[in-house]
Structure 1
Amino acid sequence: MTHPEMTVDELIYPLSACDRSAPVRRAMNPFLPMAHRLAQVVQSVDETGRTVVHLAEGHDEDTQLGHLPPEVTVALSRQGPVQAPPRRPRRTAGGK
């Protein structure tokens, strides 16, 4: 099964509607949702000879910026927001 890949042209179109001064971040793994600072755009050739463009994160230790905002996580994972289960009262040493 082949998966469609976004082309540079398909990326430029939605980016053209964005604020040009906004920072660009990569949203990684919506099930462990983290944001990463984008540092490089690198063009290369894949094993089939096709030109590909890689969006790379930086090498600094502060490249991973933390958790994605919940609305981004929901949009990327195509599922509803997940809430942590309510906490149960702690038991005391006497079992009560």
Structure 2
Amino acid sequence: MTPEEKTVGDLINLLSACGPNAPVCQAVNPYFPMAHRLAQVLQSVDETGRTFVYLAEGRDPDAAQLGHLPPEAAIELTWQGPVQAPQRRPRRRVGGN
């Protein structure tokens, strides 16, 4: 197992700190952060005999993707830095200035 891999036990420990009634979503694609609804948990064995657990989104394209990941979540995941809105310039008036 690589250091980046989490085990089922790790996931249980992380989830135990969360509200038990909160929906579980999957954050995907750090360059275009989207949120996906989890629909399935599947255990399988790879070609080397290692057991893996897969968290999968549903098949219904209208229900699986929830939309953009909230900016706060993308920042917390370090997928993007905090961004401040640009300063507003005074509006131009008819006839100049």
Superposition TM-score tier, normalisation by shorter sequence = 0.7 to 0.9
Q: Determine the C-alpha separation between the residues in 1 that align with 2:60 and 2:85.
A: 31
TM-score calculated relative to the size of structure 2: 0.77
Aligned to 1:58: 58
| Unmatched segments (≥5 aa) in structure 2 | 88-97
Q: After superposition, where does 1:1-96 map in structure 2 within 5 Å? A: 4-62=4-62, 63-82=64-83
Q: Determine the C-alpha separation between the residues in 2 that align with 1:84 and 1:33.
A: 19
Q: Determine the C-alpha separation between the residues in 2 that align with 1:58 and 1:85.
A: 38
| Identity across matched positions, percent | 67
CA RMSD of aligned residues (A): 2.2
| Residues 31, 77 of structure 1: 8 Å contact kept | no
Amino acid at match of 1:80: G
| Unmatched segments (≥5 aa) in structure 1 | 87-96
How far the C-alpha of 1:30 sits from its partner, in A, is 1.8
Moved over 4 A (4+): 83-86
1:79/1:66 CA distance change after superposition, 3 Å: closer
TM-score calculated relative to the size of structure 1: 0.78
